Amino acid sequence: MKIAAITCFTYLLLLLLTFSSAQDPTQNFLQCLNRHSHDISEFVYTRKNTTYSETLLYSINNLRFAKPDTPKPLVIIRAVSESQIQSVIYCSKKHHLDMRIRSGGHSFEGLSYVSPLPFVILDLVNFKSFSADTKTNTAWIGSGLTNGELYYKIGETSDRLGFPSGLFANVGVGGILSGGGYGMMMRKYGLAADHVIDARLIDSNGRILDRKAMGEDWFWAIRGGGGGSFGVVISWKVRLLPVPKTVTVYKVYRTVEQNLTSIFHKYQSVAPKLPKELVIKADGQSIVSNISQRADNRTMIFLFEALYLGSADKMLSVMQGQFPELGVVREDCFEVSWLQAMVYFSGFELFTPPEILLNITVLPRPAFKSNNDYTQVPIPVEGLEGLWDLMYKLPPLKATLQFTPYGGRMDEISESALPFPYRAGTLLKFNRYAETDTDEAERMEWVKTLARYLTPYVTKNPRSAYVNYVDLSMGTNNLKGTTSYQQASRWGKRYFKNNFDRLVNIKSAVDPDNFFRHEQSIPPIRI
Ligand SMILES: Cc1cc2nc3c(=O)[nH]c(=O)nc-3n(C[C@H](O)[C@H](O)[C@H](O)COP(=O)(O)OP(=O)(O)OC[C@H]3O[C@@H](n4cnc5c(N)ncnc54)[C@H](O)[C@@H]3O)c2cc1C
Ligand SMILES: *[C@@H]1O[C@H](CO)[C@@H](O)[C@H](O)[C@H]1NC(C)=O
Ligand SMILES: *[C@@H]1O[C@H](CO)[C@@H](O)[C@H](O)[C@H]1NC(C)=O
Ligand SMILES: *[C@@H]1O[C@H](CO)[C@@H](O)[C@H](O)[C@H]1NC(C)=O
Ligand SMILES: *[C@@H]1O[C@H](CO)[C@@H](O)[C@H](O)[C@H]1NC(C)=O
Ligand SMILES: *[C@@H]1O[C@H](CO)[C@@H](O)[C@H](O)[C@H]1NC(C)=O
C-alpha cells in the first residue's frame, strides 16, 4: 500500500516534470540545440550559468537597456561556426522564440539584445576573421570585429590602406555595415557599405548564401537596409582603400566668446564644399566657465576635429583659403599614420599605442537617448542661438550636438545605389545626444523638444533619419501579428525615402514569414 502510494507519487512527479519541461521553451530550445549541434554546449549561456550576466553585459553599449527590469534573454549563444548558427535559427523558429542578432551591441535602442517577447541572443562576438589580399586590395572581414579591431588589422597589413568605417572603436562591423556606416573618410570614399563587394549570409531556412547565390536585390538590401531584417551576415568582402603614409589631424575648441556662433554658421556651408580629402566634424556641448558673459555662467564649446589625407602644409593652405575664421594654425596640426589618426578619433590621446583599439573596456558606456536629422541649408544665426539656449537647459556635458559634413564623394552616388538615400544635396548630418543616467524621463523629453525646435531647419517630406541611429519614438512594428505598409512607412520612409518600397518587396520575397524581426525591421508586405 505504502509502496504503491510512493510509486504513484513518483509517477505523478515524473508526469509533472515532463509536463513542465514540455512547457518550458528554454528546455525545449536547449534540447533542440544539443540535438543539432553536438559541440555547442560550451558556447551556450542560460540564467543558470554564473557567467550569464557578464556575457550579456559584454557588449551592451547603452546602459539605458541594462537595468534590472530590462527584459533578458532566455539563452545567449556565442556561436563559433556557421553550422551552430544554422541550429540556433532552426531551433528558435521551431520553438517560436524571438532571435536577436548581436555583433557589436551598439544599437541605440538595444535592438540586438532586448525583446519584449521570450527571446535568445545569437552573439557573433566570435566571428572575428580578417583575411586581406594585398594584390586586389580586398579583405573578408567577420561581423564580430569591432571598428577598432578592423582598423588595427588593416594597419598590420599595410600603412597605405584604410577603410571608411565609423569613428568609435567598439562599434561592430555587423551592425555598421548593415546600416551604411560613415566615418572620417566619407567625403573621400562615401559610406562603408559602398565598398562591400560580397558577403556570406545565413537565411531563415539556414541556407548559406554569397552575393551570387542571394542575387543583386538581396545583396543591395543588406548594404544599408538596416540590421536584423534580411538574415545573419557572417562576413563581408570589402575593398581596402588607399591612404597616404601620413595624414594630418587637428582638434581645436571654440566657445561662444570666441565667435563660435559665426564660425559655426559659416562651417555649415563651407565644410561640405571643401576638398574631398578634408573632413571637419563639429561636436558641441554646454559648459560652465568664467569666460561666460551670462548670468548662469554657461557657454557653448565646440570641438572641431579634422582629418586631411595629405600634408599639414597643404591642409593649412586649404584652411586659410576657405575657412580662415576657424583660425587653425600649424601648432594645432599633427602628421601621423592613418591608424594613429583612427586612434585619435576614437577619443584617445593622439599618440596612444594602437593596441588600445583592441580593448573594449576602456571607452565609456553611458545610458543615453540619441537621434538625428540631415540639413540641406545652413541653420541661421538666430536658429543657432535658440539651439544654444536649449543646451543650457540640461546640466553641463550631459548633451551633445554632433555634426558631420557631407558633399565630396557623397554627392556623386545616386540616391538608389544603396538603401541609404541621403547623398547629393545633404549639407550635414546632425545628431543629438543626451545622457539619461539620471532624470531619464526629463531628458528623453528634452530630446523631443529639441527635435521639435529644429523642425523648420532640417530636411522635410519626409523628415530624414539614419537607420543606424535607430529611434523607436518614430513608431514600431507590431511584434505579434502583421504590420501595415502605412504603419512601417512612418519610420521606413524617413530612413530610406523611396528605397523603402524596394526593401519591403525584397523582404517579402526572402523572409515572407518574418523570422528576422525587431521593433523597426522591414516588414514583409506585398505592395
Ligand atoms: C558610441 C557610438 C558611436 C557610433 N559611431 C558611429 C559612426 O561613427 N558611424 C556610423 O555610421 N555609425 C555610428 N554609430 C551607429 C552604429 O553604426 C549603429 O549603432 C550600429 O548598428 C552598431 O552596430 P553593432 O554591430 O555595434 O550593433 P548591434 O547592436 O550588435 O546591432 C545593430 C543592429 O543590427 C543587427 N545586426 C547586428 N549584427 C548583424 C549581422 N551580422 N547580421 C544581420 N544583422 C545584424 C542587430 O540585430 C541590430 O538590429 C555609433 C553608435 C554608437 C553607440
Ligand atoms: C552553462 O551550464 C551548462 C550546464 O551546466 C553547461 O553545460 C555549459 O557548458 C555552461 N556554459 C558555459 C558557456 O560555460
Ligand atoms: C570675432 O570676430 C570679430 C569680427 O569678425 C573679430 O574682430 C574678433 O577678433 C573675433 N574674435 C575672436 C576671439 O576670434
Ligand atoms: C578663469 O579661471 C582661470 C582658471 O581658474 C583663470 O586663470 C582665469 O584668469 C579666469 N578668467 C577670468 C576671465 O576670470
Ligand atoms: C557665476 O560665477 C560667479 C563668479 O564665479 C559666481 O559668483 C556666481 O554665483 C555664478 N553664478 C551661477 C548662477 O552659478
Ligand atoms: C583594458 O583597459 C582596462 C581599463 O582601462 C584595463 O584595466 C585593462 O588592463 C586593459 N586590458 C588590456 C588587455 O590592456
Q: Based on the structure, what is the number of domains in the chain?
A: 3
Pocket test for ligand 1, best of 92, 123, 468, 476 (most atoms within 8 A of CB): 468
Name beta bridge partners: 112: none
Residue 312 DSSP SS3? helix
- Give the CATH number, domain containing residue 64: 3.30.43.10
The ligand whose atoms approach the alpha carbon of 470 most closely is 1
Nine-digit cell string for 103 = 555583433
Residues 70 and 164 in one domain: no
Question: Helices 381-391 and 260-270 meet at what angle, rounded to 10?
Answer: 120
How much is the pLDDT for 288? 98
> Given the C-alpha cell 515532463, which residue does it identify?
18
Residues 97 and 136 in one domain: no
Residues 6+ apart with CB under 8 A from 258: none
For residue 100 and ligand 1, the question of a CB distance below 6 A is answered with yes
The Cα 501–Cα 492 span in angstroms is 9
- Give the CATH number, domain containing residue 209: 3.30.465.10
The ligand whose atoms approach the alpha carbon of 295 most closely is 5
Q: Which of 123, 145, 161 is the last residue of a domain?
A: 123
Q: Which of 208, 242, 276 is the last residue of a domain?
A: 242
pLDDT tens digit sequence for 382-432: 999 999 999 999 999 999 999 999 999 999 999 999 999 999 999 999 999
DSSP classification of residue 326: G
CA of 141 from ligand 2 middle (Å) equals 29
How much is the pLDDT for 191? 98
User: What is the model's pTM?
Assistant: 0.95
pLDDT tens digit sequence for 443-466: 999 999 999 999 999 999 999 999
Residues 6+ apart with CB under 8 A from 406: 186, 187, 272, 374, 422, 423, 426, 427, 428, 429
What's the half-sphere exposure (Cβ side, CA atoms, 13 Å) at 366? 14
Starting from the edge strand earliest in sequence, which strands make up the sheet with 232-239, in order? 130-133, 138-142, 232-239, 196-202, 208-209
Total residues found in the chain within this entry: 527
| Residue nearest atom 7 in ligand 4 by C-alpha distance | 290
Name beta bridge partners: 429: 374, 404
Which residue, among 171, 148, 154, 164, has the nearest Cα to 355 in the 3D structure?
A: 148
For residue 90, being part of any structural domain is answered with yes
Residues 147 and 231 in one domain: yes
pLDDT tens digit sequence for 203-239: 999 999 999 999 999 999 999 999 999 999 999 999 9
Q: Which of 123, 140, 163 is the last residue of a domain?
A: 123
For residue 504, being part of any structural domain is answered with no
Residue 306 DSSP SS3? strand
The answer to whether residues 403 and 430 touch, using CB atoms and an 8 Å cutoff, is yes
Residues 102 and 27 in one domain: yes
CA of 205 from ligand 2 middle (Å) equals 27
Residues 6+ apart with CB under 8 A from 259: 325
How much is the pLDDT for 479? 82
Question: Helices 499-510 and 211-221 meet at what angle, rounded to 10?
Answer: 140
Name beta bridge partners: 23: none
Nine-digit cell string for 499 = 528605397
Residues 312 and 207 in one domain: no
> Given the C-alpha cell 548593415, which residue does it identify?
178
CA of 40 from ligand 2 middle (Å) equals 10
pLDDT tens digit sequence for 144-159: 999 999 999 999 999 9
CA of 157 from ligand 3 middle (Å) equals 46
For residue 357, being part of any structural domain is answered with no
pLDDT at 90 over 60: yes
**Residue 103, Ramachandran bin (φ over 0: left; ψ between -120 and 50: alpha; else beta):** alpha
How much is the pLDDT for 406? 98
Which residue, among 161, 430, 147, 467, has the nearest Cα to 272 in the 3D structure?
A: 430
Active-site annotation, residues = 469
User: What are the pocket residues of ligand 2 if the criterion is a CB atom closer than 6 Å to any ligand atom?
Assistant: 41-42, 44-45, 49
Question: Residue 60: what residue type?
Answer: I
The Cα 189–Cα 338 span in angstroms is 15
Residues 306 and 371 in one domain: yes
| Residue nearest atom 11 in ligand 4 by C-alpha distance | 290
* DSSP code string of 385-423: HHHHHHHTTSPTTSEEEEEEE--GGGGGS-TTSSS----
Residues 281 and 218 in one domain: no
The Cα 170–Cα 381 span in angstroms is 36
pLDDT tens digit sequence for 25-72: 999 999 999 999 999 999 999 999 999 999 999 999 999 999 999 999
The Cα 165–Cα 186 span in angstroms is 8
For residue 359 and ligand 6, the question of a CB distance below 6 A is answered with yes
- Structural domain including 136 reads 130-242
The Cα 23–Cα 428 span in angstroms is 53
Residues 422 and 319 in one domain: yes
> Given the C-alpha cell 518600397, which residue does it identify?
501
How much is the pLDDT for 481? 87
CA of 41 from ligand 2 middle (Å) equals 6
The ligand whose atoms approach the alpha carbon of 522 most closely is 1
Residues 6+ apart with CB under 8 A from 139: 130, 131, 132, 133, 154, 157, 237, 238, 240
For residue 290 and ligand 4, the question of a CB distance below 6 A is answered with yes
Residue 382: exposure state from Cβ atoms within 10 A (0-12, 13-18, ≥19): exposed
What's the half-sphere exposure (Cβ side, CA atoms, 13 Å) at 475? 16
Residues 26 and 148 in one domain: no
For residue 476, being part of any structural domain is answered with no
How much is the pLDDT for 1? 43
For residue 525, being part of any structural domain is answered with no
Q: What is the 3-state secondary structure (H, E, C) of 455-481?
A: HHHCCCCCCCCCHHHCCHHHCCCCCCC
For residue 330, being part of any structural domain is answered with yes
For residue 353 and ligand 6, the question of a CB distance below 6 A is answered with no
Which residue, among 140, 138, 121, 117, has the nearest Cα to 130 in the 3D structure?
A: 140
How much is the pLDDT for 11? 52
- Give the CATH number, domain containing residue 303: 3.40.462.20
pLDDT tens digit sequence for 484-515: 999 999 999 999 999 999 999 999 999 999 99
CA dihedral of 499, 502, 506, 512, whole degrees rounded to 10: 100
- How many Cβ atoms from other residues are within 10 Å of residue 527's Cβ? 9
pLDDT at 253 over 60: yes
Pocket test for ligand 2, best of 42, 48, 50, 75 (most atoms within 8 A of CB): 42
The answer to whether residues 179 and 226 touch, using CB atoms and an 8 Å cutoff, is yes
CA of 37 from ligand 2 middle (Å) equals 14
The ligand whose atoms approach the alpha carbon of 54 most closely is 2
Q: How confident is the model at residue 527 (pLDDT cuts 50, 70, 90)?
A: low
| Residue nearest atom 9 in ligand 4 by C-alpha distance | 290
For residue 228, being part of any structural domain is answered with yes
pLDDT at 9 over 80: no
Residues 112 and 237 in one domain: no
Which of the residue ranges 3-12, 89-98, 182-191, 368-377 would you say has the lowest mean pLDDT? Answer: 3-12
Distances (CA, A) of 319 to 284, 328, 379: 21, 7, 22
The Cα 144–Cα 126 span in angstroms is 6
pLDDT at 353 over 70: yes
Q: Given the CA of residue 290, which atom of ligand 4 is nearest to it?
A: 1
How much is the pLDDT for 480? 83
For residue 42, being part of any structural domain is answered with yes
- How many Cβ atoms from other residues are within 10 Å of residue 17's Cβ? 10
Residues 272 and 170 in one domain: no
Residues 93 and 142 in one domain: no
pLDDT tens digit sequence for 291-347: 999 999 999 999 999 999 999 999 999 999 999 999 999 999 999 999 999 999 998
Q: Are strands 428-435 and 399-405 parallel, antiparallel or unpaired?
A: antiparallel
Which residue, among 38, 31, 30, 78, has the nearest Cα to 58 in the 3D structure?
A: 78
pLDDT at 12 over 60: no
